[in-house]
């Protein structure tokens, strides 16, 4: 008898991770009937999956404000517990741009002042659930569950406030729930917003993090599965020949290409200057009889024109290959990757020598191919004419998971990039072994089996629940 699993998706990346990977066909092999419980603006009919749409998911306005306060309180407690001020840098500034935003911000500050303790966190988590049960959204979710009668509800993100009502409705109906940790940096950022019966994490390292930061979670609730995020790199069917890929994108078969992977504007507000500096360095290399080009892949949620001047000036060096994402709104979670982009990203990694960026998880995409990464390690935060040494993002907790040896080539000043890249191209293996060790620490090995492990754990948990009944 098949097991029915509701897969709750709240953003495009989650759809990519669980609808474009082996997760779908492996579920069929394991006799698991997947139904995508879709709270995004995107229809999933084109990718041939069964979906139940959540019509205009709307959490309580107070829940959203409490979530903001909860994150700030947890970051305060992490700071105190670990005696480390880095957690304060995870806070987004409160807005006071108009009367409405000022009232909201003052309300958040009031909640933080009253509930700023471990006990306060418990009370706020309970309060969010109480508030959600009063919403039409919760009632809609409960009706869907009563009609469809799934055996299991799997939230593809632990951080979406829109996931609270669906998971609460499932728990109220005695349906087992699990939440997947969305990204490698999420746990220290206090984004474990939902309360589930179980949590799927990327690695043993992430399990330790979850137990360290979220004291209400017990070890038996955590399943180490890995993430499907990198499975595309192990799927030979996605890969094109070099000749075909280069012809499609107007690339020169005689050139070696470096990928510059753009960051979002919050992480790297001067990202276009890093692309400019890399292009200048490549210009120097080509004047020394190298034949190097740059493939620019912008951050898929960055639709700004900030790179345009650099792309025009260095059009003989840079080829921009745009991500194939579908935009349904202005927010990052209303922009959806496509199957075509899933293949595109795979082939960009396949056919470039290395990747350059500021602190992105693309280091792991390239580690999967045994290829190196270079991180920009200087900043333009103060003066665009005078780059300053170091970038504070590397102080964030998730970077502390790397081995003590160099896992990337550190680009410390614009004047040295040409020499650094030249050395990297000559000896591409110098940092690769360490980056692969880092990848193995961050994501359970073998990396290609994440979907299988998640589905196996689902099957076991459903069977355990049935035995208890």
pLDDT score at 333: 62
- The C-alpha atoms of residue 201 and residue 229 are separated, in whole angstroms, by 12
Q: Could you tell me if 274 and 146 lie in one domain?
A: no
Q: Could you tell me if 334 and 415 lie in one domain?
A: yes
Q: Could you tell me if 161 and 53 lie in one domain?
A: yes
**Sign of torsion over alpha carbons 345, 348, 354, 356:** negative
Q: Could you tell me if 353 and 248 lie in one domain?
A: yes
pLDDT score at 22: 95
Q: Could you tell me if 208 and 298 lie in one domain?
A: no
pLDDT score at 167: 98
User: For residue 458, what is the domain's CATH number?
Assistant: 3.40.50.2000
Is-contact 310 271, C-beta < 8 A?
no
Q: Could you tell me if 207 and 156 lie in one domain?
A: yes
Q: Could you tell me if 51 and 96 lie in one domain?
A: no
Q: Could you tell me if 7 and 111 lie in one domain?
A: no
Is-contact 348 321, C-beta < 8 A?
yes
- The C-alpha atoms of residue 24 and residue 145 are separated, in whole angstroms, by 21
pLDDT score at 420: 97
What is the token pair recorded at 466?
């049935």
Q: Could you tell me if 330 and 194 lie in one domain?
A: no
pLDDT score at 1: 76
End-to-end CA distance of the chain: give it in Å, rounded.
Answer: 16
Choose among 391, 403, 397: nearest CA to 439.
403
Q: Could you tell me if 113 and 17 lie in one domain?
A: no
What is the token pair recorded at 381?
């935060």
The total of structural domains in the chain comes to: 3
Choose among 200, 144, 201: nearest CA to 175.
144
- The C-alpha atoms of residue 64 and residue 274 are separated, in whole angstroms, by 36
Ramachandran quadrant class, 149 (left: phi over 0; alpha: psi -120 to 50; beta: rest): left
Is-contact 193 170, C-beta < 8 A?
no
What is the token pair recorded at 363?
């280091």
Report CA-CA distances (Å) from 326 to 19, 50, 330, 340.
Answer: 15, 20, 11, 11
Q: Which of 100, 127, 154 is the last residue of a domain?
A: 127
- DSSP states along 10-61: -SHHHHHHHHSSTHHHHHHHTTEEEEEEE-SSS--GGGT--EEE--S----H
Residue with tokens 């994150």: 71
The alpha carbon torsion through 379, 383, 384, 387 (nearest 10 deg) reads: -40
In terms of residue numbers, what domain contains 119? 61-127
- The C-alpha atoms of residue 449 and residue 443 are separated, in whole angstroms, by 11
**H or E segment and range at residue 154:** strand 152-155
Residue with tokens 């103060």: 382
- The C-alpha atoms of residue 33 and residue 39 are separated, in whole angstroms, by 19
- Give pTM, 2 decimals: 0.95
pLDDT score at 330: 61
Please report how the helices 118-133 and 164-172 are oriented relative to each other, as an axis angle in degrees rounded to 10.
80
What radius of gyration do the chain's Cα atoms show? 23
Q: Could you tell me if 337 and 458 lie in one domain?
A: no
Q: Could you tell me if 436 and 451 lie in one domain?
A: no
Pairing of strands 198-201, 176-180: parallel
pLDDT score at 48: 82
Q: How do the pLDDT tens digits run along the chain, 469 residues long?
A: 789 999 999 998 899 999 999 999 999 999 999 999 999 888 888 788 999 999 889 999 999 999 999 999 999 999 999 999 999 999 999 999 999 999 999 999 999 999 999 999 999 999 999 999 999 999 999 999 999 999 999 999 999 999 999 999 999 999 999 999 999 999 999 999 999 999 999 999 999 999 999 999 999 999 999 999 999 999 999 999 999 999 999 999 999 999 999 999 988 999 999 999 999 999 999 999 999 999 999 998 888 999 999 999 999 999 999 999 887 666 656 678 889 999 999 999 999 999 999 999 999 999 999 999 999 999 997 777 789 999 999 999 999 999 988 999 999 999 999 999 999 999 888 899 999 999 999 999 999 999 999 999 999 999 988 888 6
């Amino acid at each position: 008898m098949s097991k029915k699993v509701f897969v709750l998706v709240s953003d495009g990346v989650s759809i990519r991770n669980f609808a474009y990977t082996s997760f779908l066909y492996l579920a069929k092999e394991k006799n698991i009937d997947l139904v995508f419980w879709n709270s995004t603006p995107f229809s999933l009919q084109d990718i041939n999956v069964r979906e139940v749409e959540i019509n205009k998911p709307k959490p309580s306005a107070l829940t959203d404000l409490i979530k903001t306060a909860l994150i700030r309180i947890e970051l305060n407690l992490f700071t105190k517990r670990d005696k480390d001020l880095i957690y304060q840098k995870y806070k987004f500034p409160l807005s006071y741009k108009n009367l409405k935003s000022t009232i909201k911000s003052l309300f958040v500050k009031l909640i933080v002042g009253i509930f700023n303790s471990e006990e306060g966190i418990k009370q706020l988590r309970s309060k969010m659930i109480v508030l959600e049960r009063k919403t039409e959204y919760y009632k809609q979710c409960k009706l869907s569950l009563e009609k469809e009668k799934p055996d299991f509800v799997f939230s593809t993100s632990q951080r979406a406030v829109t996931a609270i009502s669906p998971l609460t409705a499932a728990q109220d109906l005695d349906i087992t729930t699990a939440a997947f940790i969305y990204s490698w940096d999420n746990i220290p950022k206090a984004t474990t917003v939902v309360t589930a019966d179980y949590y799927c994490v990327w690695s043993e390292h992430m399990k330790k993090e979850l137990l360290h930061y979220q004291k209400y979670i017990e070890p038996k609730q955590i399943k180490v599965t890995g993430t499907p995020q990198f499975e595309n790199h192990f799927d030979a069917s996605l890969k094109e020949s070099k000749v075909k890929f280069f012809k499609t994108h107007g690339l020169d078969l005689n050139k070696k290409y470096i990928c510059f992977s753009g960051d979002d504007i919050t992480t790297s507000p001067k990202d276009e200057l890093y692309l400019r500096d890399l292009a200048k360095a490549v210009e120097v290399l080509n004047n020394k009889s190298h034949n190097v080009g740059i493939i620019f892949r912008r951050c898929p949620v960055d639709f700004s024109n900030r790179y345009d001047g650099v792309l025009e000036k260095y059009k003989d060096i840079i080829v921009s290959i745009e991500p194939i994402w579908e935009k349904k709104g202005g927010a990052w979670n209303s922009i959806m990757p496509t199957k075509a982009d899933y293949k595109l990203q795979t082939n960009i990694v396949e056919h470039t020598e290395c990747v350059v960026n500021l602190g992105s998880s693309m280091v792991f995409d390239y580690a999967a191919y045994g290829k190196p990464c270079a991180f920009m390690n200087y900043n333009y935060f103060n003066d665009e004419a005078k780059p300053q040494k170091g970038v504070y993002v590397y102080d964030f907790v998730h970077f502390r998971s790397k081995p003590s040896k160099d896992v990337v080539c550190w680009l410390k000043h614009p004047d040295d990039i040409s020499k650094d890249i030249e050395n990297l191209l000559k000896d591409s293996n110098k940092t690769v072994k360490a980056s692969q060790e880092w990848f193995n620490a961050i994501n359970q090995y073998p990396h290609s089996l994440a979907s299988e492990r998640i589905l196996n754990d689902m099957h076991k948990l459903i069977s355990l629940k049935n035995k208890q009944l």
